[in-house]
C-alpha cells in the first residue's frame, strides 16, 4: 500500500465548504494527482511514502525535516508551488504552479553518494523521452536542457556523519507547463516541456516515470553497475570551450571528460588539466 497524505490546513472544514476556493481547488487537484501518480507506480520503495502539498517554502526543507525524524528511504515530497525554492550555489529556484517540484529522501552508502548526480539527471532525461519523445541533454553537472535551454534543475543535499550518509535529499524541479516567455528573468535561458512538445504533458505520468527511473538507476548504481557511461553519453558539455565559475574562481578550457565520480576534466589552452568538483558552466564556443 502507498501512504498518501494531502496537506490540510487547520480550517479545512470551511475551506471544503468553499470559503477559500483557491486552496480548495489545490487540495482536490492534489488528491487526484497523488492518486494518479501512485496508481502508475510499480517501484519497490521510491514513492511508497508520497506527500503532496499545495504550497511549501521548499520541498527540500520538508524532506530534510522528515528525514531527520526518520522518514524511510524513498519518501517523496511534492509541492504544487514553492515560495522559496532553492537552486545550486545559493541561487533561488522559480517554482510556480504547473511545474514539478519534488524532493526524494535516499540513504546511499557513502561510496555511492557522488553517483546521485548521475542517477538524477539520467533519470530525468529518460523520463522526459518516455512521456514526450523529447531528446533532452545534460549540462554538467546536472542541468537538463532541451535545445540548449534549461528544462530541469537538480539539487542534492546530504547529511553525512563520519563515514555514513545519514540521508541525502535529491531535489528535482522540472518546467512542465510554464510559459517561460512570460518571465523576462528566465525567458532567454529556460524552456518547458509543453513549449517544446507543443502538447500537454501529464504531470502524474512524468512523475511516476521519473520515480521509476530513479529507483532503477539508483539500485543499479548501488549494485556497482556502471551508469557513468550512459550519463556521459547524454552530456552535451563535452568537447566545448567553457568557463566554469566556482565561488570566486573562474577556469576556462575545453570540457574534455567526466570522471566516474562525476567530476569535470577541463583542458586549458596551455594543455594543462584541472579536475573540477563543483561549478557553474557557461559555454563559450562549441
Contact of 115 with 89, CB cutoff 8 Å: no
Q: Which stretch binds ligand BTN (CB under 6 A): 96-104, 119-127, 236-244, 266-274?
A: 96-104
Task: Give least dist CB 201 to ligand BTN, A.
Answer: 17
The reply to whether 85 sits near ligand BTN by the rule CB under 6 A is yes
Task: Give least dist CB 278 to ligand BTN, A.
Answer: 12
Please state, in angstroms and rounded to a whole number, the distance separating the CA atoms of residues 273 and 255.
10
The reply to whether omega before 257 is within 30° of 0 (cis) is: no
Residue closer to ligand BTN (CB basis): 15 or 116: 116
The reply to whether 101 sits near ligand BTN by the rule CB under 6 A is yes
Please state, in angstroms and rounded to a whole number, the distance separating the CA atoms of residues 280 and 286.
17
To 5 degrees, how large is the angle CA 157–CA 163–CA 166? Answer: 45
Residue closer to ligand BTN (CB basis): 91 or 252: 91
> What x/- string results for residues 190 through 219 when contact with ligand BTN is judged by CB under 6 A?
------------------------------
Distances in Å between the Cα of 246 and the Cα atoms of 5, 117, 190, 265 are: 39, 17, 22, 14
Angle in degrees, 0-180, between the axes of helices 203-222 and 116-132, rounded to the nearest 10: 140
- Residue 260 carries which DSSP code? T
The reply to whether 115 sits near ligand BTN by the rule CB under 6 A is no
Please state, in angstroms and rounded to a whole number, the distance separating the CA atoms of residues 151 and 129.
13
For 80, how many CA atoms within 13 A lie in the half-sphere containing its CB? 18
Binding positions for ligand BTN, 39-78, rule CB under 6 A: 58-60
> What x/- string results for residues 156 through 195 when contact with ligand BTN is judged by CB under 6 A?
---------------xxx----------------------
Task: Give least dist CB 171 to ligand BTN, A.
Answer: 3
Residue numbers at the binding site for ligand BTN (CB under 6 A) = 58-60, 82, 85-88, 91, 93, 95, 101-103, 143, 153-155, 171-173
Amino acid at each position: 500500500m502507498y501512504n498518501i497524505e494531502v496537506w490540510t490546513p487547520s480550517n479545512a472544514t470551511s475551506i471544503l465548504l468553499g470559503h477559500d476556493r483557491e486552496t480548495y481547488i489545490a487540495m482536490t487537484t492534489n488528491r487526484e494527482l497523488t492518486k494518479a501518480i501512485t496508481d502508475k507506480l510499480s517501484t519497490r520503495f521510491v514513492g511508497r511514502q508520497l506527500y503532496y502539498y499545495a504550497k511549501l517554502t521548499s520541498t527540500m526543507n520538508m524532506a530534510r525535516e522528515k528525514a531527520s525524524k526518520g522518514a524511510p528511504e524513498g519518501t517523496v515530497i511534492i509541492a504544487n508551488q514553492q515560495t522559496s525554492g532553492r537552486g545550486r550555489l545559493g541561487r533561488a529556484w522559480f517554482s510556480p504552479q504547473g511545474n514539478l517540484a519534488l524532493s526524494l529522501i535516499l540513504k546511499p552508502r557513502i561510496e555511492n553518494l557522488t553517483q546521485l548526480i548521475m542517477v538524477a539527471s539520467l533519470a530525468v532525461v529518460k523520463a522526459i523521452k518516455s512521456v514526450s519523445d523529447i531528446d533532452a541533454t545534460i549540462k554538467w553537472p546536472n542541468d537538463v536542457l532541451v535545445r540548449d535551454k534549461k528544462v530541469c534543475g537538480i539539487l542534492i543535499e546530504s547529511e553525512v556523519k563520519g563515514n555514513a550518509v545519514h540521508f541525502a535529499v535529491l531535489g528535482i524541479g522540472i518546467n512542465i507547463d510554464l510559459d517561460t516567455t512570460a518571465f523576462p528573468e528566465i525567458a532567454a535561458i529556460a524552456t518547458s516541456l509543453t513549449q517544446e512538445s507543443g502538447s500537454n504533458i501529464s504531470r502524474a505520468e512524468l512523475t511516476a516515470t521519473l520515480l521509476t527511473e530513479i529507483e532503477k538507476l539508483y539500485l543499479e548504481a548501488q549494485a556497482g553497475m556502471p551508469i557513468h557511461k550512459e550519463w556521459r553519453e547524454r552530456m552535451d558539455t563535452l568537447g566545448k570551450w567553457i568557463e566554469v565559475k566556482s565561488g570566486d574562481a573562474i577556469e576556462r578550457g575545453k570540457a574534455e571528460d567526466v570522471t566516474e565520480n562525476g567530476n569535470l576534466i577541463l583542458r586549458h589552452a596551455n594543455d594543462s588539466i584541472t579536475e573540477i568538483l563543483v561549478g557553474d558552466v557557461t559555454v563559450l564556443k562549441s
